[in-house]
Amino acid sequence: MTTTFVINSICDHSTKITASLNGSVIDMTIESSCVKIMDYALLIKKLTIKEIAKDIMNNPIYIKASESRLEPNCLVPCGVAFCAWTEAGMVSKNLLSRMPAQCIVFKNE
Q: What is the pLDDT of residues 65-107, one digit of tens each?
A: 999 999 999 999 999 999 999 999 999 999 999 988 888 888 9
Q: What span, in angstroms and rounded, lies between the C-alpha atoms of 46 and 91?
A: 19
Report yes or no on 108 lying in a domain: no
Residue 32 has pLDDT above 90, yes or no: yes
The enclosing domain of 66 has a CATH number of 3.90.1010
Count how many domains the chain has.
1
Please name the residues in contact with 87: beta carbons below 8 A apart, sequence gap of 6 or more.
Answer: 1, 2, 3, 19, 20, 21, 26
Report yes or no on 103 lying in a domain: no
Domain limits for position 31: 2-98
